[in-house]
Chain A
Amino acid sequence: MVPAKGTQMKPAPFAYLAPQSLAEALTIMDQHGDDARLLAGGQSLIPVMNFRLAQPALLVDLNGVAELAQCAADESGGLGIGAMVRHSQLEHSQTIARLAPLLHETMPYIAHPQIRNRGTIGGSLAHADPAAELPVVTVALQARFRLQRAGGERWVAAQDFYQELFTTAVQPQEILTEVAIPPLPPRTGWAFLEVARRHGDYAQAGVAALISLDEAGVCQQARLVYLNVGEIPMRAPKAAALLLGEVPSPSLLAAAAHTAAQSEIDPTSDVQGTAVYKRHLAHVLGQRALQQAIARAQAALTA
């Protein structure tokens, strides 16, 4: 087809459907899932289509599915976040700030304001970029993802969702529709830190930390999850195990951060930085994140 005069087309041709309900979207994916890509915020998908690195035959636009744009808290303090909730909604939500402060504090690190106005939590999670913030944070929060298909659904733990580079548990006929975040235990502290060449650029490395203490200040739960130092969000269970049952001390935090950076991540060199430098960042950021998370947990202890 000859484009109209002066009109250039960046993406390759595709058919376009804009379902107005989840049921309609699921039916479309049931019939065409093998050839289709879901369009959420489009802040990652459209660029790769502009480069023609992705050439889907069918684009299924979820932006008209209002039921996926809801965010609600349950009585126990857990959160259900619809896949089409945009980053800017999470960034400015007092409910998110109160119930999921780690998630809330991470939002400003995600790209730039214009991107956050459009990008969605479901789109970011399903895109599974190892340098993205939300996959790491949802793994740290032990979130569960609802995968729906025509006539059925299943829930997958965030840590099982990420399989390989840009590869998730979502099957071609499925749609990631909701993110469930469990309530935080009492006396839980959190931290998210990353280093990027410029604010909003892809991070060279980053980390999310969550620490829960008992009433005596003993660590009951510890989680460290790193970004951009492996193909998927990289958990550090050996480092976390060092903290469990202990009253965290500076030397113990240093040992945990060292263990994680030396034996639980797998950075590779790329345009953002060398593997050696990313490992260094992971070490330093891990220690700082643990310090911050524990200080917050201890503040809750004395409050």
Chain B
Amino acid sequence: MEKHTIHLTVNGTAYTREVEPRLLLSDFLRHELGLTGTHVGCEHGVCGACTVIFDGTAVRSCLLLAVQTNGHTLQTVEGLGTPDNLHPLQAAFHEAHALQCGFCTPGFLMTLIPFLEQHPHPTEAEIRQAISGNLCRCTGYQHIVDAVTIAATHSTNDTSV
């Protein structure tokens, strides 16, 4: 099949690549760009592990084609903090023990970043709705909710989280 040239920005870096139309965004990020922080779980839109931020909103990267990101801006978990300088939400996950095996964590983080921008002081019910599309098979949901509460508390008046 004919390849398509795409230009996109991921975590502030501009990329130009040739892609087959059938290449999923999740596989493109992992295999073409080497950004393996985006995890691939179910590959049909159920688990949320592959969630990335597409033009500011959380989307499932296994349900987008790489070719559809032409001209768009993405953020992946690699665009948050570093091990020495965690993003406040990552620090809150650490503080609240909000991850066990960690496989689902990038998807939770990328779901919650735009959520906290729109809901800087969420209720517990709002937090649970926000993460309803992410599965944690260690079932550590309570600690994830706790982490979001901590992050929201720490970020008073800081909407960038």
Give residues in A with beta carbon < 8 Å to B: 1, 4, 6-16, 18, 42-43, 46-47, 49-51, 59, 61, 63, 88, 108, 111-115, 117-118, 198-200
Contact = CB atoms under 8 A, between A and B. Distances in A.
Interface stretch (B20-28, B96-104, B150-158): B20-28
Contacts of B23: 7, 9
Contacts of B62: 46, 50
B1 A13 contact: yes
A114 B51 contact: yes
A158 to B, nearest CB: 26
B21 A16 contact: yes
Contacts of A49: 22
B59 to A, nearest CB: 5
Interface residues of B, number: 35
A63 B67 CA distance: 12
A18 B68 CA distance: 9
A11 to B, nearest CB: 4
Main secondary structure of the interface of B (DSSP, over half): mixed
B59 A117 contact: yes
B24 A113 contact: no
Main secondary structure of the interface of A (DSSP, over half): loop
B63 A7 contact: no
A33 B132 CA distance: 37
Contacts of B27: 7-10
Given A1-B1, A117-B57, A118-B63, A200 B22 contact: no
A7 B32 contact: yes
Contacts of B24: 10-11, 46, 50
A112 B20 CA distance: 29
Contact of A10 (B22, B32, B59, B70): B22
B57 A46 contact: no
A4 B22 CA distance: 13
A195 B32 CA distance: 42
Contacts of A43: 45, 60, 63
Contact of B48 (A9, A42, A112): A112
Contacts, number: 100
B60 A115 contact: yes
Which of A108, A118, A198 has the most CB atoms of chain B within a 10 A radius of its CB? A118
Given A14-B22, A15-B21, A63-B68, A115 B133 contact: yes
B44 A51 contact: yes
B124 to A, nearest CB: 14
B111 interface: yes
A108 B111 CA distance: 16
B43 A50 contact: yes
B65 interface: yes
Contacts of B8: none
Interface in B53-94: 54, 57-60, 62-65, 67-68, 70
B4 interface: yes
Interface in B99-158: 111, 115, 129-130, 132-134
Interface in B31-45: 31-32, 43-45
Contacts of A9: 20, 22-23, 27
Contacts of B45: 43, 46-47, 115
6 contacts: A7-B23, A10-B22, A15-B21, A46-B64, A113-B130, A118-B63
Given A6-B31, A8-B27, A11-B22, A114 B68 contact: no
A184 B131 CA distance: 34
A109 to B, nearest CB: 11
Contacts of A114: 48, 51, 58-60, 111, 133
